[in-house]
Chain A
Amino acid sequence: NAGVMQNPRHLVRRRGQEARLRCSPMKGHSHVYWYRQLPEEGLKFMVYLQKENIIDESGMPKERFSAEFPKEGPSILRIQQVVRGDSAAYFCASSPGTDRNSPLHFGNGTRLTVT
């Protein structure tokens, strides 16, 4: 069973460019979560999605950031017009969605560097 797959592992963008981060959940998992990790700041919740629906986006910045989880294909976290402060590790996690005590399964993250 493949785990949560994130790509790319490393992404370098210049200020003002767009960054697209992809996440394929574990097989059979219908819930996807995105977190951002900054050094010394822990893991910050961004957004929680089910197929074709955003359930909770309370941690997403209001501007430039968007997320989707289409019926077919991976979940995408999109950052428009990136700034240096967007540099961080972005982690995707998935869960089955059938049992609220199920732990999250994490991918290995995408490390975004904005130059």
Chain B
Amino acid sequence: AQSVAQPEDQVNVAEGNPLTVKCTYSVSGNPYLFWYVQYPNRGLQFLLKYITGDNLVKGSYGFEAEFNKSQTSFHLKKPSALVSDSALYFCAVRPLNTGGFKTIFGAGTRLFVKA
């Protein structure tokens, strides 16, 4: 079965410190990979995506993500966290063998940045 795992329900980090939010996936082939962020009472917002090429992709608000094919991981990172980064983060995959555009989401990781 195709799935996305975000092993941490919550990540706590002090402002100014680097952060990592982990994601691994289990799909056949080479899927497209995405990160989204959700603020309270809002829909998800796109942060960044990996399609092909350089394993390190950069996105909005200073976030970046590292793709590792052998570990089937796509961890979200930021060198210096801000209190305003506190939100719910979702990793997502779009398998390419389904012929369509279906996107599968992880369960989400709540990031809490303390001042």
Residues of A whose CB lies within 8 Å of any CB of B are: 4, 31, 33, 35, 40-45, 48, 55-56, 91, 93, 95, 97, 100-101, 103-109
Task: Give the Cβ gap from B68 to chain A, nearest Cβ, in Å.
Answer: 19
| Closest chain A residue, CB of each to CB of B4 | A42
Please pick, from B43, B100, B101, the residue contacting A106 in the complex, using a CB distance under 8 A: B43
The reply to whether the CB of B51 lies closer than 8 angstroms to some CB of chain A is: yes
Please pick, from A40, A55, A104, A108, the residue contacting B100 in the complex, using a CB distance under 8 A: A55
Residues of B whose CB lies within 8 Å of any CB of A are: 9, 32, 34, 36, 41-46, 49, 51, 90, 94, 96, 98, 100-108
The answer to whether B43 touches A56 (Cβ under 8 A) is no
Task: Give the Cβ gap from B61 to chain A, nearest Cβ, in Å.
Answer: 15
Task: Give the Cβ gap from B25 to chain A, nearest Cβ, in Å.
Answer: 14
* Given known contacts A56-B100, A100-B94, A108-B41, A42 and B105 CB-to-CB distance under 8 angstroms: yes
Task: Give the Cβ gap from A87 to chain B, nearest Cβ, in Å.
Answer: 16
Docked pose: A89 CA to B109 CA in angstroms: 17
Docked pose: A25 CA to B43 CA in angstroms: 13
Please pick, from B51, B102, B106, the residue contacting A48 in the complex, using a CB distance under 8 A: B102
18 residue pairs from A and B, CB less than 8 Å apart: A33-B101, A35-B105, A40-B107, A41-B107, A43-B44, A43-B90, A43-B105, A44-B105, A45-B102, A45-B104, A45-B105, A48-B101, A100-B32, A101-B51, A103-B49, A104-B44, A106-B36, A106-B44
**Further pairs besides A43-B105, A56-B100, A108-B41: 15, Cβ < 8 Å:** A33-B101, A43-B90, A45-B103, A45-B104, A48-B100, A48-B102, A55-B101, A93-B44, A100-B32, A101-B32, A101-B51, A103-B34, A104-B34, A108-B43, A109-B41
